Amino acid sequence: MNHSIKDLKPNAVWKIFYELTQIPRPSKKEKRAAEFVKKFGERLKLKTIVDDVGNVIIKKPATPGMEKRKGVILQSHLDMVPQKNSDKKHDFEKDPIEAYVDGEWVKAKGTTLGSDNGIGVAATLAVLEATSLKHGPLEALFTIDEETGMTGVFNLKPGLLEGKILLNLDSEDEGELFIGCAGGMNTTGRIAFKTEVVPSGSKAWKLSLTGLKGGHSGVDINLGRGNSNKMMNRFLLDATKRFKMRLASIDGGSLRNAIPRESFAIVTVPEKHTKNFLSAVKAFEALLKSEIGIIETDLKFTFGPANMPESVIDKNTQVKLFKAVYGIPNGVIRMSAEMEGIVETSSNLAIIKSEDGFIELLCLLRSSVDSSKEDLGIAIQSVLELAGAKVTHDGAYPGWKPDVSSAILQTMKKVYKNKFGKNAEVKVIHAGLECSIIGDVYKGLDMVSFGPTIKFPHSPDEKVHISSVENFWEYLIEILKNV
């Protein structure tokens, strides 16, 4: 056991968080984490419910004298984003996370840490376990599959929860209170291709674009980070024109809600163009570094010999694909006119993959304005259909409209000022929070989202600030006391 993590303060939270790092829990595979939480509640002899889809609800009575306070629901999600560096050997369905302390931060070795949303889960369980805290009636809601489909909240049924206030513990900046979020939608294009014989006199190469920072496709979308799919495509289209390059396969990005960090392609090039082609690879790496190297300091665009593929993608589809990827809107589309510095609408071209006669392109669209999200979906659909793709939209969820007059928000602002001597910042977030869907099922809930400082979620650079976890914990305790 990593005793340095176990001994951090607040011990009650870090001890449980460490246990969570030892339980594999990628999205849609979090059953063992749900069982851990279920047994935790049963061990405490608290009413514990597992609903039809696998969400876990644990209810804790109020401390004496606080029975008439409004009931509070503490909500967090059990799954984590499974991202790793390409040189890291790790099976997210079997292996524990190798978490460690690095100065003021807790990090993981070559993988995502799972502090999103493991810290929220750990803090909630620590509240349930504590015997000295003062609070009204409590309910803990642990949802499944938040990261890849929000399956848990989409299938949450009315009548299971009684609380009037919901505290979502899934935000990532200590001292910030979130009262609204963007809605989202998945857009997928599927292009069928035929195969052609590899042109004679060709050599095969593997192109690798690696070392990008990636990150959360909502929270980090405005940071100017590179999208490996867009960058790889830029080179491939140019190489098609200059060197008669043919594409055999492509594999870029791995998760719809993460900015793609790596992209790989197997290509063939006429042997007579080898020297100029390889020079072009080096020149393109230098070009990217000149454009974006200040942000993407570890960017690499490399080549290496590959086994000759059995076939290549037909030329017509290849060209249509490259032009479509060029045309798909990506990144920040529009900033909010109402809240300064907040992204309103964005798109993340997350995955491009060729397999079994099809090329799939997966995008995640976000907007705090539902009509803008739908308009963006039509724009991307139009580009993809011109390339011969069949396009589907699914997984849509609404935004969460801010309520600046919220009673629990006023309480939380007052508690924060009294405890820390400064004002908490009230914000909306350009990411999906489960509040929007829960609030649609349980009408009238008073909701706020907050959490400790977590940097670079959804990437192997994920880290959580140790002292902010202590502030988050002490703040949570005071909120429960003052509801």
Catalytic residues: 79, 146
Do 76 and 147 contact (CB within 8 A), yes or no?
Answer: no
| Spatial distance between the Cα atoms of 430 and 200, rounded to a whole number of angstroms | 50
Structure tokens at 386: 């011109």
- State the Cα–Cα distance between residues 87 and 70, nearest whole angstrom: 50
Kindly give, in sequence order, each residue whose CB lies less than 8 Å from that of residue 418, ignoring residues fewer than 6 positions away. none
Q: How far is residue 389's CA from residue 307's CA, in Å, rounded to a whole number?
A: 29
Name residue 398's amino acid.
Answer: P
Cβ burial 195-208 (10 Å sphere, 16+ → b, else e): eeebeeebbbbbbb
363 exposure class (CB count in 10 Å sphere: 0-12, 13-18, 19+):
buried
d(CA 278, CA 284): 10
Residues 306 and 204 sit within 8 Å (Cβ to Cβ): yes
3-state secondary structure of 240: helix
Beta carbons of 211 and 299 less than 8 angstroms apart: yes
Cis peptide before 423 (omega within 30 of 0): no
What residues contact 245, with CB distance under 8 A and at least 6 apart?
Answer: 236, 239, 267, 268, 269, 277
How far, in Å, CA of 58 to CA of 37, rounded?
A: 9
Q: Which among 185, 101, 112 is positioned nearest to 150, based on CA atoms?
A: 185
**Other Cβ atoms closer than 10 A to 150:** 23
Best CA proximity match to 477, nearest among 8, 13, 6, 5: 13
Number of H helices, E strands in the chain: 12, 23
User: Is-cis flag, bond preceding 260, omega within 30?
Assistant: no
The token pair at 100 is: 């460690």
| SS3 at position 403 | coil
